[in-house]
Amino acid sequence: MNKWVKGLIVSLASVSFFGVASTIPVHAASKAVALPKSYRGSWYLYGGAEAVSKKKAPVFSYARVKLAPKKVTYSICTSTAPTLKKPTWQVSFVAPLIYTKKVAKKTHKVSYRMVLRMTSGTPAITLSKTKVKVKILGKKVQALQVKISGTKFYAFRQPLPSHSVGDLLD
């Protein structure tokens, strides 16, 4: 009888533990919101130019970030043209995401946080829209402000050699 009671207690404890553990991602997902259609699609982050050698033309790099409702695709491309035409694909990564919404109390500005589904932890990336002056176009353009660990980067709807993110693409 003593073994039977111990077995019952262990069984109940393990069932209750797995029951609580399996509801943790559900609670995190319940705070998730759908990413607005104006944020979805392809955005481009300019990585800068790198001189391979003295005789060869520099190589320009950029990242294409494709935001979808439940995942993000991150692709790195290079080009020998300063206008970023004729890109050469290098590598791609896909990660499942959960988006959460944040509204600033004073300005009521809306931003969205990206949380990897694998971690369900604190958001590492914050997305918001803003207008940014682009020198090569000579005007302000709608941009996606990407904030990673307190550092701001700007992504555009087309590949533009402006606002380099530098080492972020490495």
Task: Identify which of 58-67, 109-118, 130-139, 160-169 has the greatest average pLDDT.
Answer: 58-67
Sequence spans of domains, the chain: 1-30, 41-169
Q: What is the pLDDT of residues 127-160, one digit of tens each?
A: 898 888 888 788 888 999 999 888 888 999 998 8
Mean local confidence (pLDDT), 100-104: 88
Do the beta carbons of residue 66 and residue 76 sit within 8 Å?
no
Do the beta carbons of residue 9 and residue 37 sit within 8 Å?
no
Of 112, 119, 162, residue with least CA distance to 138: 162
> Residue 67: its pLDDT value, please?
93
Of 109, 107, 105, residue with least CA distance to 127: 109
Kindly report the average pLDDT of the chain as a whole number.
76
147: number of Cβ within 10 Å: 16
